[in-house]
Structure 1
Amino acid sequence: MEQNADIRQFMEVIKRRKFQFIIPGLLVFLIAVLISLILPPVYKSTGTILIEAQEIPQDLVRSTVTGYVEERLQAITQVVLSRARLIEIINRFGLYQDLKGRYPIEEIVEKMREDVIMEPIMTEMDKPRSGKSDSAIIAFTLSYEGKDPKQVAQVANLFVSLYLEENLRNREEKTRTTYEFLEEQLTKLREEIVIIEGKTAEFKKKHVNYLPELMQLNLQTMEQLQRQIEAKEEQIKSLINRKIYLEGQLATLEPTMYAFSMDGKRVMTPREELETLRSQYISLSATLSPQHPDVISLKKRLEAVQAEVSIREDLRHMYRKLNNEEHLLTMISEKFSDKHPDVIKLKKEIALLKEEVSALSEKQTVFKGEDEKPENPSYINLQTQITSTQMDIETTRKECNLLKVKYEEYQKRVENTPQVEQEYLVLQRDYSNAQAKYQETMNRLLAAREATGLEESRKAERFTLIDPPVVPEKPDRPNRLAILLIGMVLAIGCGIGFGSLSEYMDESVYRADELAAISGLPVLAVIPYLETEEDRKKMMQKKWVWIVSTAGLVIIGVAAVHFLYRPLDIVWIQIIQRFSIGF
């Protein structure tokens, strides 16, 4: 019973609020119909471009065009949708004529950018190394939206062509730029290598004897020279000892042999004469007085001969000592410098000995005169050997000095080699680095040349049009059926909402139970509402108000469409065409 009462109350509300339910719903549905009719159709033409991978494996030939496909697509999009190019396309096809004059060119260009749609087609790819999957672009769609289907297809095909051409031009330009850059770098490196080679040749010419590769040869030469110097010094020592020995032998000999006078008698030597005079002086002194003229004459003769023999002995002794001192000076000078105390002392002693020899030589004219020359063959032979030995000593000493000069030269080379080696290593390092860079750049240039051939033969990654844009047969939007369905749902909702709100806001009493609940008194009887003629007139007036209002709204809407949008005859023709195409 309660359920039947609720249904009866609900039906009474619908009957009582039928106009509040129907009129708002009709208005909303009418607005939806107008929207579906007024909205201009937008056609969309789409082309699909496949991104084909490089045909030849990258392990064999690597392309110089690197980077992600997304980045390259964005770069191509920026070039294709540049302001100048879009303005050229707008003027070429006469696009957006309804916007020209009302909006600045920048907004029209921006509108065209919004109408050009590039959507990538992704796929999941497994990475063999990491085992993870990653998304990659295998293709993309390029669409253009507009009001004229034929024009939309033409513009879409133009953009597809621009994308293909720009991708091709971009790849060829990158490949050519890379090749030209590497070729320029190779030329610079070649010039740098020539400069370094020139510096190296000049450096070698300047330091020909100090190069590091000659270090071992210089050390070996120094060892050989050291051995030769030691051999020469030993030879000099041996010759000096021989000279000393010969001089000792010479000191035991008389320079003159037994001389004979014209009558055949042998002439005595000074020492024999000294001994004879001593014997005669002793004999005369024994028989004669010291003041005897013969004794005095013999004594003078004896003293003269004795002085002569003494000077001879002193000179021989000084010559031997002088030779010994000079030999010792030669040996010491090889070990010490001229400023060494021992060297200075020996030089002073030799100078004093020479002065004494000179003084004795002035007193003894026998050794300097031409009247007394060595005649003893043994004496002369020893003198000759001594002279020859002295010459050998001087010759050997000169050879030794030359060897020492060479040794010092090679020693200087060895000492200066490390410093020269540092500069030489810098040149060698620069040359090696330049050579390595040259070889690396050459390899890159060859790879760039192969990549250029790859691009020219169209074997590299490329864009292939697999689905060209065509003339759309129906508009992409608006979806008029969906608009009508949504309008219907909104109309029902709006009618129910408006009617429910009217019922909720109405404080009138329509049922006996409501009156009993309000008054707190029981209802004895229910008298139906008796309509008077005045009530019926008022009700009729309300109906006419609703009818006139609705008609006025419809007339205002139709007039707005006719004057603000498009004439009604044209709209009617378009409605027929669109419904025939869209549904």
Structure 2
Amino acid sequence: MYELLQQGLGYLKVASRYKWWGVLAAWVVCAAGWVFVSQMPDQYKAEAKVFVDTRSVLRPLLHGLTIEPDVSGQVRLMTRLLFTRPNLEKIARMTDLDLAAKDEKIMEAIINRLKSSLAIESANQVNIFTISAEDADPQLAKRLVQAMLTIFVEQALGETRRDSETAQRFLDQQILEYQRRMQEAEKAIEEFKRKNYGLLPGQGGDLYGELQAAQAQLEEAKLAVQEAQNRRDEIARQLEDEEPMFEDFGTAQSPTEAKIQALQTRIEELLIKYTDKHPEVIALKRSIAELKKQQAEALVNGENGAEDLAGELAGGATNPVFQQMKLALSEAEANVASLKARVKAYEDKIQKLQAQMDARLKVETELKNLNRDYGTIKNNFETLLARREQARLSESVEQNTDTVKFRVVDPPQVPSKPSAPNRILLSAAVLGVGFGVGFGLTLLLALVRPTFISIQQLREVTSLPVLGQVSMHWVPAIRRQKLREFLGFCGACAGLLLAFAVLVLMEIRGINLYSLNI
């Protein structure tokens, strides 16, 4: 670190030999820079501040009845869209800048110039917008600000109205579409009801109750069939044990009387287990009555003797019990067949009821789907109608009242003082660059034309032994000369500082070298 410091001091010592080159370079750079800064044209900045009031007295009164647009958001969006090419072309026409545009290239240059010179800023949390324009002509700067302000207000208001109109058109289209869909849904429901008449809910009676009743009747019929089959089997078994003819001729009875006696015996057996209203008892009584009627008719016609004779000639009398049991077996088989037919009828009825229930459930499901779709379409249709009324009321409020108010807080004025360039800052920068160039030039010369500044450096470069060094002893004349050189150097540097101070003073007092044509 010490060696680096010594080396740096050595270079500075060598550079001091070329200090006048540095002073000259600094003066040239500063003079040229200050002349350039002074020749820069003045730029005038015009500003206007506008306050966008989005508050309205009607807003709390019409809350929920109208659509409340985000006016603040729309206004802030307009500030970003203000610098589009159509708006910039409109500003150029409003300020007559387009008159100088003889071809497309010139117009493009004007548009780019406006894009770089115009600006709009907004304060945080406050709807205050600052519109500014910068130009060499103060009158043009004011006209640019005024044109921007006009376009800003017109487009902000127009955009809100266009949004309302667009929303209304969209709602009208959707309402017509949903109205058409609702009519189609109504026709579909009507056609479905017409096609499935009798299967709709509330029509055709209580199928579930009928099905339960039919199932109960089927169970009773099956039980009756089982009982009838058991009775038939019992009669058949008894019939197998009974003889069809009597071999004893002792006391012969007519066949009719034997049948009647057998039937009476059967009735007595049945009455032990059943009542008089039992179907078989009733059937046997009916058979006895018919036999007695036949016997009476035979006696009247004289056929009784022939019957007896025929029985005797046959070699024996007919067993009336066998005949009656055979008759009962036939009746039992007929009863079983009748009950089976009833069971089959109940089964067919149950299948029919189940098919009707399946069809009704399917119809109910499809009808629910149709009604659900219709209800959804109807709800959307009614919602759109309500929204359209809100949109119409909102549009009426916007047309008859000011939902947004633009108040110019600070109108644009013709600027009396230029806002740019900042010549004090630029002159200071030129001064710094001048000193930097001068110092850099002296260091460069010290590096290009080096000299030995120490014994160590001489020994390292020549690789020869150095016996010693002789100190310089300046005579008074040389000392006075060096003092004059030093004072001259300081005066040259002070002259640069003095020139800079003069320029700053002139800028503060509004004296511009550009206006003096220097």
Same fold (TM over 0.5): yes
3-state SS, counterpart of residue 129 of structure 2: strand
Question: In structure 1, which of residues 241, 247, 254 is the aligned counterpart of residue 286 of structure 2?
Answer: 247
Question: In structure 2, which of residues 362, 367, 370 is the aligned counterpart of residue 419 of structure 1?
Answer: 362
Unaligned 5+ runs, structure 2 = 1-14, 229-276, 453-465, 479-510
Q: Which residue does the alignment assign to 1:520? A: 469
Pick closer, same or farther for the CA change 1:268–1:437 going to 2, 3 Å.
Answer: closer
Q: Which residue does the alignment assign to 1:117? A: 119
Letter of the 2:289 counterpart = L
Letter of the 2:417 counterpart = K
Pick closer, same or farther for the CA change 1:109–1:152 going to 2, 3 Å.
Answer: same
Deviations 1:214-247 (A, max 9, x none): 5983323445677899999999x97965761443
Q: Which residue does the alignment assign to 1:201? A: 190
Q: Which residue does the alignment assign to 2:303? A: 270
Pick closer, same or farther for the CA change 1:246–1:29 going to 2, 3 Å.
Answer: same
Letter of the 2:304 counterpart = R
- CA–CA distance in structure 1, aligned partners of residues 467 and 50 of structure 2: 76
Q: Which residue does the alignment assign to 1:27? A: 28
Q: Any conservation in 2 of the 1:65–1:174 contact (CA below 8 Å)?
A: no
Is 1:326–2:334 an aligned residue pair? yes
- CA–CA distance in structure 2, aligned partners of residues 479 and 81 of structure 1: 27
Q: Any conservation in 1 of the 2:171–2:388 contact (CA below 8 Å)?
A: yes
Q: Which residue does the alignment assign to 1:165? A: 154
Letter of the 2:40 counterpart = L
Q: Any conservation in 2 of the 1:117–1:143 contact (CA below 8 Å)?
A: yes
3-state SS, counterpart of residue 375 of structure 2: helix
3-state SS, counterpart of residue 48 of structure 1: strand
RMSD: 5.2
Q: How does 1:328-347 map to 2 (within 5 A)?
A: 328-336=336-344
Q: Any conservation in 2 of the 1:179–1:449 contact (CA below 8 Å)?
A: yes
Q: Which residue does the alignment assign to 1:48? A: 49
Is 1:175–2:164 an aligned residue pair? yes
State the Cα distance separating 1:330 from its structure 2 match: 0.7
TM-score under structure 1 normalisation? 0.55
TM-score under structure 2 normalisation? 0.61
State the Cα distance separating 1:96 from its structure 2 match: 8.1
State the Cα distance separating 1:482 from its structure 2 match: 3.7
- CA–CA distance in structure 1, aligned partners of residues 444 and 332 of structure 2: 150
Q: How does 1:335-414 map to 2 (within 5 A)?
A: 335-336=343-344, 410-414=353-357
Pick closer, same or farther for the CA change 1:304–1:18 going to 2, 3 Å.
Answer: closer
Percentage of matched positions with identical amino acids? 18
Unaligned 5+ runs, structure 1 = 1-12, 124-136, 260-265, 276-301, 337-400, 510-516, 530-570
- CA–CA distance in structure 2, aligned partners of residues 522 and 325 of structure 1: 162
- CA–CA distance in structure 1, aligned partners of residues 340 and 113 of structure 2: 108
State the Cα distance separating 1:431 from its structure 2 match: 2.0
Q: What is the aligned residue count? A: 405
Q: Which residue does the alignment assign to 1:575? A: 515
- CA–CA distance in structure 2, aligned partners of residues 157 and 64 of structure 1: 30
Pick closer, same or farther for the CA change 1:405–1:141 going to 2, 3 Å.
Answer: same
Is 1:73–2:76 an aligned residue pair? yes
Q: Any conservation in 2 of the 1:64–1:175 contact (CA below 8 Å)?
A: no
Letter of the 1:30 counterpart = A
Q: Any conservation in 2 of the 1:209–1:413 contact (CA below 8 Å)?
A: no
Deviations 1:265-309 (A, max 9, x none): x9574224555xxxxxxxxxxxxxxxxxxxxxxxxxx449967x9
Q: Any conservation in 2 of the 1:64–1:178 contact (CA below 8 Å)?
A: no
Q: Which residue does the alignment assign to 1:220? A: 209
Q: Which residue does the alignment assign to 2:176? A: 187
Letter of the 1:36 counterpart = V
Pick closer, same or farther for the CA change 1:203–1:103 going to 2, 3 Å.
Answer: closer
Question: In structure 2, which of residues 394, 400, 416 is the aligned counterpart of residue 473 of structure 1?
Answer: 416
State the Cα distance separating 1:253 from its structure 2 match: 0.3
State the Cα distance separating 1:576 from its structure 2 match: 5.2
State the Cα distance separating 1:66 from its structure 2 match: 4.7
Deviations 1:392-411 (A, max 9, x none): xxxxxxxxx7x998776544
State the Cα distance separating 1:449 from its structure 2 match: 3.6
Pick closer, same or farther for the CA change 1:255–1:230 going to 2, 3 Å.
Answer: farther
Pick closer, same or farther for the CA change 1:270–1:234 going to 2, 3 Å.
Answer: farther
- CA–CA distance in structure 2, aligned partners of residues 53 and 322 of structure 1: 105
Q: How does 1:506-517 map to 2 (within 5 A)?
A: none
Q: Which residue does the alignment assign to 2:399? A: 456
State the Cα distance separating 1:528 from its structure 2 match: 3.7
Q: Which residue does the alignment assign to 2:237? A: none
Letter of the 1:166 counterpart = Q
Q: Any conservation in 1 of the 2:39–2:513 contact (CA below 8 Å)?
A: no
Is 1:139–2:128 an aligned residue pair? yes
Is 1:437–2:426 an aligned residue pair? no
- CA–CA distance in structure 1, aligned partners of residues 468 and 95 of structure 2: 79
3-state SS, counterpart of residue 575 of structure 1: coil
3-state SS, counterpart of residue 325 of structure 1: helix
